[in-house]
Amino acid sequence: MSTEDVRLNFDGPLAIVTLARPAKFNALTAAMIRALDEAADAIETASDCRCILLTGEGRGFCAGGDIADWGGLAPLDMWRAWVRTGHRVFDRWTRLRVPVIAALNGHALGGGLELAAVADFRLAEPHAKFGLPETGIGMVPGWSGTQRLVQRFGAPLIRKLCFTGVVLTASEALAAGLIDEVVPEGSVLDRAQALAAQISQRAPVAVSLAKDLINAAEGEGGASAFESIAGALVAYTDDCREGVASFQEKRAPRFQNR
């Protein structure tokens, strides 16, 4: 991993990814973004993985992008190195083949809320708070806060968070549809693991394909989802096997429409 501030552990079919910078409320650095990308690599190649738990260490999930990391960047570096890289990595996390559960043990603000939005489920403890504070410091959300969050939670809510800087409590976030559950204090990891165990009992290929299709309905990776499903379908046909065999044997194929 690029940094010790992101940890990846496997527990049977569950991958656990922990933001481990509690002194800074797990504010994201460029190294942490790279480490999230590396974690995605490892998870995608772990064929036994059926679910991912994403959480933070300490009393906060993620306070967003660390201003100390991006505040001094030149405009072109901000575009090339910070926004585009974070966008690419968050997009990748959204499209991981197995469901992601965000166990929100504390505040998810700015980039932290954008990271929580990549998950399929968001579970939060009562003290957690949620917001998009970027316009208060002359910035705009850069990791799909004005795109994915609108697609998943609706434009009126994201306008309110982005334009006014209002911060929602866990109960308010639940009522607004921003999170899926509020769980008792100190129990979010247990609840997330129980949900992961429930998901892991389902047929893994069916769950992954269902995730791709639901993502496509939300505007996430539709082209790749449909092409990958179509590719898997034709790979099972006699005609595909005949086509490969004819190519290898340097002869004309004899397709039979099956």
- Residue of 57, 114, 125, 220 marked catalytic: 114
From 140, 138, 98, select the one nearest 119 (Cα to Cα).
Answer: 98
Please answer whether residues 62 and 26 qualify as being in contact, where contact means their C-beta atoms are separated by less than 8 angstroms: yes
**Domains in the chain, ordered, with CATH?**
6-200 (3.90.226.10), 204-249 (no CATH)
Q: How many CB atoms lie within 10 A of CB 74?
A: 9
pLDDT tens for each residue of 227-255 = 877 887 888 898 889 888 998 999 999 98
- Decide which of 2 and 196 is more confident: 196
Residue range 168-179: mean pLDDT, rounded: 98
Rama region for 62: left / alpha / beta (φ>0; ψ in -120 to 50; rest): beta
Residue range 88-114: mean pLDDT, rounded: 96
**Does an H or E element contain 116, and which?**
helix 111-116
- Residue of 38, 44, 125, 134 marked catalytic: 134
Quote the mean pLDDT of the chain.
92
Is 4 among the residues known to form the active site?
A: no
From 44, 62, 167, 203, select the one nearest 122 (Cα to Cα).
Answer: 62
What pTM was estimated for this model as a whole? 0.90
Q: Name the pLDDT band for 222 (thresholds 50, 70, 90).
A: low
Is 134 among the residues known to form the active site?
A: yes
